[in-house]
Amino acid sequence: MKNTVPVSIGSREPLDECDLLAVACFAGESPEVEGLGEAWRAAAARVAARTGWEGRPEQRGETAVEQGALSLCGLGRREDLTWRKLSAWLVRVADAAQVNGAARLTFLLPRHRETMGEAAAERIARVLALSDYRFDRFLSAATARRPRLSRVTILPPAGEEATYAAAVARTASLAAAIALARDLGNTPANEATPLWLEERAAELARERGIGFTVLHREELEQRGMGGLLAVGGGAIHPPRLLRLEVGSEGPIVALVGKGVTFDSGGISIKPAADMDEMKYDKCGACAVLALAWLAADLALPLRLRVYMPLAENVLDSRSYRPGDIIRFPNGKTAEITNTDCEGRLILADAMSLASEEGAEVLLEYSTLTGACIMALGRHAAGLFTPDDGLAADLLAAAERTGEKLWRLPVGPEYLEEMKGVHADLRNLATRWGGASTAAAFLSQFVGGLTRWAHLDIAGVAYVGRDQNSHPGATGYGIALTLDYLRRLTGTP
Which element (helix H / strand E) includes 461? none
428 binds, among ligand BES, Zn ion, Mn ion, none (CB under 5 to 8 A by kind): ligand BES
Contact at 8 Å (CB) between 226 and 327?
yes
Scanning 13-21, 93-101, 175-183, 363-371 for contacts with ligand BES by CB under 6 A, the matching segment is: 363-371
Among 22, 48, 292, 428, binds ligand BES (CB under 6 A): 428
Give the nearest residue (CB) to Zn ion: 263
Residue 369 touches which member of Mn ion, Zn ion, ligand BES, none, C-beta under 5-8 Å by kind? ligand BES
Binding of residue 263 to Mn ion (CB under 5 A): yes
* Catalytic residue (one of 344, 404, 426, 451): 344
One symbol per residue from 246 to 285: x for binding Zn ion (CB under 5 A), - otherwise; what is it? --------------x--x-----------------x----
In the sheet with 60-65, reading across from the earlier edge strand, the strands are: 7-9, 151-155, 104-108, 20-25, 68-74, 60-65
Other Cβ atoms closer than 10 A to 90: 23
Degrees to nearest 5, angle at CA 476 with 472 and 477: 160
Tell me which residues in 332-361 interact with Zn ion (CB under 5 A): 343
DSSP state string for 265-303: -TTSPPPSTTGGGGGGGGHHHHHHHHHHHHHHHHT-SSE
Residue 227 engages ligand BES in binding (rule: CB under 6 A): no
Nearer to Mn ion, 226 or 265 (CB): 265
Site for ligand BES in 83-142 (CB under 6 A): none
Question: Rounded to whole angstroms, how far apart are CA atoms 366 and 454?
Answer: 8
Indicate which single residue of 322, 370, 386, 447 sits in contact with ligand BES (rule: CB under 6 A).
370
Q: Assess contact for 198 and 191: CB atoms under 8 A.
A: no
For residue 288, the minimal CB distance to Mn ion (Å) is: 19
Element (DSSP H or E) covering residue 395: helix 388-401
What residues have CB less than 8 Å from 95, skipping those under 6 apart?
A: 131
Binding mask 376-415 for ligand BES (x = CB under 6 A): ----------------------------------------
Q: How many residues bind ligand BES (CB under 6 A)?
A: 16
The listed partner (ligand BES, Zn ion, Mn ion, none) that binds 371, CB under 5 to 8 Å by sort, is ligand BES
What does 370 interact with, of Mn ion, Zn ion, ligand BES, none (CB < 5 to 8 A by kind)?
Answer: ligand BES
Q: Does 312 bind ligand BES (CB under 6 A)?
A: no
When the beta carbons of 198 and 281 are compared against ligand BES, the nearer one is 281
- Report the distance separating Cα 429 and Cα 418, nearest Å: 6
Of 270, 327, 332, 407, catalytic: 270
Q: How far is the CB of 439 from ligand BES (least distance, A)?
A: 13
The stretch near ligand BES (CB under 6 A) out of 69-77, 206-214, 356-364, 368-376 is 368-376
Minimum separation from the CB atom of position 345 to ligand BES (A): 10
Measured from the CB atom, is 26 or 262 closer to Zn ion?
A: 262
Contacts of 246 (CB under 8 A, 6+ apart): 208, 210, 211, 292, 295, 296, 300, 303, 304, 305, 306
Of residues 11-40, those binding ligand BES (CB under 6 A): none
Q: Is 344 a catalytic residue?
A: yes
Smallest separation, CB 472 to Mn ion (Å)? 20
Element housing 470 (H / E):
none
In the list 32, 183, 340, 403, the residue contacting Mn ion (rule: CB under 5 A) is 340
For residue 239, which of 269, 214, 257, 264 has the smallest C-alpha distance?
214
Q: What is the separation, in whole angstroms, between the first and last Cα of the chain? A: 23
Q: Which amino acid is at 392?
A: A
- What per-residue string of b and e applies to 457-482 under the rule 16 or more CB within 10 Å gives b? bbbbbbbeeeeeeeebbbbbbbbbbb
Closest CB to ligand BES among 380 and 458?
A: 458
Cβ distance to ligand BES smaller for residue 25 or 346: 346
- Residue 280 CB, nearest approach to Mn ion (Å): 12
**Smallest separation (angstroms) from Mn ion to the CB of 339:** 8
Q: How many CA atoms lie within 13 A of 271 on its CB side?
A: 2
List of residues 6+ apart from 302 with CB closer than 8 A: 247, 249, 250, 251, 252, 253, 295, 485, 488, 489
Q: How many whole angstroms separate alpha carbon 469 and alpha carbon 259?
A: 25
Strand partners, 381: 405
Taking the C-alpha atoms of residue 425 and residue 428, their distance in angstroms, rounded to an integer, is 9
Contacting residues toward ligand BES, per CB under 6 A? 263, 265, 281, 338, 340-343, 367-371, 428, 434, 458
Contacting residues toward Mn ion, per CB under 5 A? 263, 340
Contacting residues toward Zn ion, per CB under 5 A? 260, 263, 281, 343
* Catalytically annotated residues: 270, 344
